[in-house]
Structure 1
Amino acid sequence: MNGRRVPLLRTGASVVVAEGADTALTLVTPFAAGSADRPFDDVPGPEGLLRVPYRGSSAQHPESRALRRAMERGVQLVWLFGVGPASYLPLFPVFVVGEEPGEGRFVVDPGVGQGFVAAGSPPDEHVRRYVVAQTRRRLHQPVFRATVMRAYASRCTVCSLRHERLLDAAHIVPDADPRGIASVRNGLAMCKIHHAAFDADILGIRPVADGVGVVEIRADLLEEKDGPMLLHGLQGHHRQPLRVTPIDEAERPARELLERRYEEFLSAG
């Protein structure tokens, strides 16, 4: 800023303001190991945009005032999402586009609704669905993926493949489900073949008392003969424990989510 270096992070601050300025530059959502909470309101507003509570639960908190000035001036903000200790995923630009004093929060557009939706004004349903879908693509999915990849050291939980470009962050319970939270505890790092098999109920994960889970392959697939990919890629993992799980127990898959998904796998078989 004017030839000076401006830090975008500051210890203990959830809104960063440059020294000598009065307008927010950065929103910061710190990392919380094992948290089931999303860093934003799970329920979008009527137009599909995100909500951010007042800092310090006060409209007059210095950080709240800095966000309000950013809104008034149309400032482009950077939103930093903690995906691990001292590790952040940046989103830019984001805009504070409205305020809801009765709810104690601001309305934030992660760069998807500019020009065709207004805070608090319900658009046509197809437009709202578009905004929600774009927010998920631009924000939810990258944050979820980065968190899961870090927790699993960028390795497939089933086969331990290390090539990150061939890995997905798979939801245990789909994100469209009310319990499908965008949390590392609802995630598994999987290579693309095992992710596809998991989603198709060809591969299931049976929770076990002394660990995270054991791989099971659908019975009819075990009887097929279709070359080395089926033999080694799927059948060979039957009844084998997961090869890679997070070191931090607080980041391992939630047992209740694994149990629910395993029941669906059994029902599909």
Structure 2
Amino acid sequence: MTPDRLRSIVPMFGGGTSYIETLNAVLEFVASHNPTTDELVGWHRGTFDRVSSRDSILRRVSYLKQVGFIQQDGKRWVLGEAGREYVEDYDVETLLRIMCERNIGLRSLMYALAAGPMTIEEISGQQLDTHPELGWSRGETDMALQRVNWLRSMGLVEKQDGEYALTDAGHQFVDAAVAEWANTAWTPKGTDDAMMAGVYETTVQARSVDPEFRVTVLSRYNRTCPVSGVDHPGLLDVAHVLSWSDYPEHRADLSNVLPLSKTHHAAFDRALFTIDQEYRLRVNPSFETESEVLQRTILDQAGERVLIPDDSIAPAYLAQHNESLGWV
């Protein structure tokens, strides 16, 4: 059984961009000395300036145990499964996978940053909006900063003029993650299993998407299809303006996606309607229907502006998509 993912990500001693250096030192000490708890506490006190609180040290030790980096063998500490895997080559990709597997929100944060730089206040809001189960107070930034600092330590995020942005390495991770993490066994708390939908079906095709990417997209639209108004997460798909198959470089691009009901996703993919650069609904002239739902949500809304929050979809992508339709 997969253990619950952790809501709290604990900072390491040594400064905001030194978490990985500190983690490596802890694991090297544990691997070489198999210390008792008292010895591990003493090592921390002797290694880091102004670190003396036993409770503060044990909080970090407990976190490393929860992630699986270390574990107790009798009265002594040894490397855990995750720790043994990581210290084989101290590979950042291995570390990131371990951290994403055991902690809520790291991938969704990177997906959000892929759309553009964010302040720490915006990051805090994004994490709460996407993962309400995190439970910290609105406006609190300490927990968000700890997440950012772990990613900064891994070289995936950098600080620029008071905002945080993905590095080239961060962008490379995001581009691959949306498909590679598609079968992650995680469902957001307080939702039904359909919210996860790592693989979701439409009448057009089945495709796989990272559930943290999916929940990031849905949260940006208040978990509602902007065309139909459907607001049940289990009935929503992540639709791509520039198609998943033809434009793999835009699969994880938040400005290329929006949530649509399963019916409206199929209608969009079949070019029965589209959205123009001014976010107005445009309907294929050949589209006819006796469905009251489709009449009300598509035909009757022709020419009306679709409510795209913060103009989240890139007009250039819509223009490129619509050029291929022939009737726009």
Provide TM-score, normalisation by structure 1.
0.52
The count of corresponding residues between Structure 1 and Structure 2 is 176
1:207–1:255 contact (8 Å) kept in structure 2: yes
Give the structure with the higher percent strand. 1
**1:236 aligned to 2:300?**
yes
The answer to which of 149-158 and 255-264 deviates more is 255-264
| d(CA) in 1 for partners of 2:290, 2:286 | 12
1:8–1:26 contact (8 Å) kept in structure 2: no
SS in 2 for 1:155: coil
2:238–2:257 contact (8 Å) kept in structure 1: yes
**What are the equivalent positions in structure 2 for 1:51-200 lying under 5 Å apart?**
69-72=84-87, 77-82=101-106, 83=108, 84-86=126-128, 135-138=181-184, 140-176=209-245, 177-200=247-270
| d(CA) in 2 for partners of 1:136, 1:20 | 31
- 1:38-84 Cα shifts (integer Å, max 9, x gaps): xxxxxxxxxxxxxxxxxxxxxxxxxxxxx875424899651433432
SS in 2 for 1:179: helix
Q: Percent identity?
A: 21
Structure with greater contact order relative to length (CA < 8 Å, sep ≥ 6): 1
| 1:196 positional shift | 0.9
- TM-aligned CA distance change 1:165 to 1:88, over 3 Å: closer
- TM-aligned CA distance change 1:198 to 1:137, over 3 Å: farther
- 1:136 maps to a residue whose letter is A
Q: Which residue of 2 is the match for residue 95 of structure 1? A: none
SS in 2 for 1:207: coil
Q: Which residue of 2 is the match for residue 47 of structure 1? A: none
Provide TM-score, normalisation by structure 2.
0.44
SS in 1 for 2:250: coil
| 1:218 positional shift | 0.6
- 1:111-166 Cα shifts (integer Å, max 9, x gaps): xxxxxxxxxxxxxxxxxxxxx96633437431221111111001111132222222
| d(CA) in 2 for partners of 1:193, 1:7 | 34
2:7–2:104 contact (8 Å) kept in structure 1: no
2:241–2:318 contact (8 Å) kept in structure 1: yes
In structure 2, stretches of 5+ residues that fail to align are: 1-5, 24-58, 69-81, 89-93, 109-125, 134-153, 156-177, 185-197, 199-208
- 1:207-258 Cα shifts (integer Å, max 9, x gaps): 12xxxx111111111xx3524234223211211110x322x45xx1112212
- 1:149 maps to a residue whose letter is L
SS in 1 for 2:224: coil
| d(CA) in 1 for partners of 2:129, 2:294 | 38
The answer to which of 16-25 and 165-174 deviates more is 16-25
2:130–2:216 contact (8 Å) kept in structure 1: no
- 1:20 maps to a residue whose letter is V
- 1:5-58 Cα shifts (integer Å, max 9, x gaps): x9741365776966237968659xxxxxxxxxxxxxxxxxxxxxxxxxxxxxxx
- 1:155-183 Cα shifts (integer Å, max 9, x gaps): 11113222222222211222331332313
Q: Which residue of 1 is the match for residue 315 of structure 2? A: 255
Instruction: Give the greater-gyration-radius structure (CA).
Output: 2
SS in 1 for 2:274: strand
SS in 1 for 2:102: strand
Q: Which residue of 1 is the match for residue 10 of structure 2? A: 10
- TM-aligned CA distance change 1:70 to 1:86, over 3 Å: farther
Give the structure with the higher percent helix. 2
SS in 2 for 1:19: helix
2:179–2:210 contact (8 Å) kept in structure 1: no
| d(CA) in 1 for partners of 2:183, 2:7 | 28
- 1:218 maps to a residue whose letter is N
SS in 2 for 1:20: helix
| 1:184 positional shift | 2.1
Residue 245 (structure 1) aligned to one of 298, 302, 308: 308
| d(CA) in 2 for partners of 1:162, 1:88 | 15
SS in 2 for 1:201: coil
| 1:201 positional shift | 0.8
- TM-aligned CA distance change 1:225 to 1:19, over 3 Å: closer
- 1:82-117 Cα shifts (integer Å, max 9, x gaps): 432345669xxxxxxxxxxxxx99xxxxxxxxxxxx
- TM-aligned CA distance change 1:7 to 1:166, over 3 Å: closer
2:9–2:103 contact (8 Å) kept in structure 1: no
SS in 2 for 1:195: helix
